[in-house]
Amino acid sequence: MRTLAIRLEDELHATLGMIAKVEGLTLTDAMHQAIDQWIDQRRHNPELQARAQAMLEEIEQDAATRRGAIEALLGTGGSTAGAKPTTRRGRSTGKGEEESPSDS
């Protein structure tokens, strides 16, 4: 659980405190309810859904790129799109094939 500290103008704080008291809530409970409602309203917004989907696709692409870079570094399987084949010593042959021991 995280702690969030916010600054409120005195009048807003007094209004929030009074409404919470009338409702039989603590300030924390009132703020939790407000935040839950705010999130719920936005969760069903088609524009937000589209932006979130685009962000998810960007994250997945970035993760795939990083995964490929790590796999190439480790020499493990997986796609290394755009990487040139290497010789036994790690130099590119520039031919699209790995250099065999007899080529050395």
Query: Taking the domains of the chain in order of start, what are their residue ranges?
Result: 8-73
pLDDT tens digits along 22-81 = 999 999 999 999 999 999 999 999 999 999 999 999 999 999 999 999 999 998 865 545
C-alpha 16/C-alpha 33 separation (Å) is: 12
Residues facing 38 on adjacent strands? none
pLDDT at 11: 97
pLDDT number for residue 96: 47
Ramachandran angles phi, psi of 92, nearest 5°: -70, 135
- pLDDT surpasses 50 at 18: yes
